[in-house]
Amino acid sequence: MPYHSKLCLTVLRLTNQYSSFYTKEKEGKVMKSITEAAPGLYEIKWMFGNRDIINFLHSHNIQEGCYIQVILQFKDYVMVGCNNRRFVLENDAAWGIKV
């Protein structure tokens, strides 16, 4: 197969992958961290990160499947609410919470 054909095939595959991702993002099926989310109410899909932070969140009944409210976004912090409590998380810690 000539180089030109391989290049066209690669571009086509990348275009299809991007199109598929764009469609899922438009439909709201792509997970994003709460640092990227606009203020609003979201369901937590999964969490990972520092064990101490995850244990702290679990001790306040914040876990996968529950709803979390993104209240404000600062430059380095995110203010969230869950179970009638408010928390301020650094972006490094909040990045591991996917909605």
Q: If pLDDT is split at 50, 70 and 90, which confidence band does 22 have?
A: very low
pLDDT at 1 over 80: no
CATH class of 31-98: mainly beta
The rounded mean pLDDT for the chain is 78
Q: Where are the domains of the chain?
A: 1-30, 31-98
Q: How far is CA 52 from CA 11, 49, 75, in A?
A: 44, 9, 23
Question: Which pLDDT does position 72 carry in this prediction?
Answer: 92
Question: Which pLDDT does position 93 carry in this prediction?
Answer: 87
Query: Taking Cα atoms as reference points, which of 55, 57, 43, 51 lies closest to residue 85?
Result: 57
Contact 18, 25 (CB under 8 A): no
Which pLDDT tens digit goes with each residue over 45-85? Answer: 989 888 898 899 899 999 999 999 999 998 899 999 998 99
Higher pLDDT, 6 or 77: 77
Question: Which pLDDT does position 49 carry in this prediction?
Answer: 86
Q: Where are the beta strands (DSSP E) in the chain?
A: 40-43, 46-47, 67-73, 77-82, 85-90, 97-98
